Amino acid sequence: MHEFGLIDFLLRWLTAQALVLGTYNPYALSYYHWLKDYPGFVSMKMMVGIMLLILHVVALLSTIRSLGLIGIGLLTATFASAAWVLIDNQLVYVEDPRVFTLILLVILGNIYAAGLSWSHLRNRLSGQVDSTDVTFNSPV
């Protein structure tokens, strides 16, 4: 059976960022801007919107189930304080509201990625074994 590793986490992280930033980003390259700025393609826009909604619901429910509300709160506080440190030390300039919005969206993507990966990470860190791992890896 495949063991969860760094590549698996990075794929989840990239997927979460693509979902969040593909839905909306402040640089006008998103579903929101496609919906707002370009007339036509109503059926395609509806289908893509429904698929994005489904993906957001799956990511959100997975995150809530994996981390819980307290875990989400703690993770949000951690990412927000890290952003504050970057801003306070002038490593990131947020005078442009688009940059601040982008930071918030990346934090949301990070929370989605953590929620999608947490159960795998917890099992890996604790050495816990799933019943399917035992069944597939048994010598019998």
pLDDT, tens digit only, all 140 positions of the chain: 677 788 989 999 999 999 999 999 999 899 999 999 888 889 999 999 999 999 999 999 999 999 999 999 999 999 999 999 999 999 998 898 999 999 999 999 999 999 999 887 777 777 776 666 556 655 65
116, 16 contact by CB (below 8 A): yes
Angle value at C-alpha 55, between 82 and 8, nearest 5 degrees: 60
Residue 137: per-residue pLDDT: 59
Residue 26: per-residue pLDDT: 93
How many other C-beta atoms lie within 10 A of the C-beta of residue 138?
7
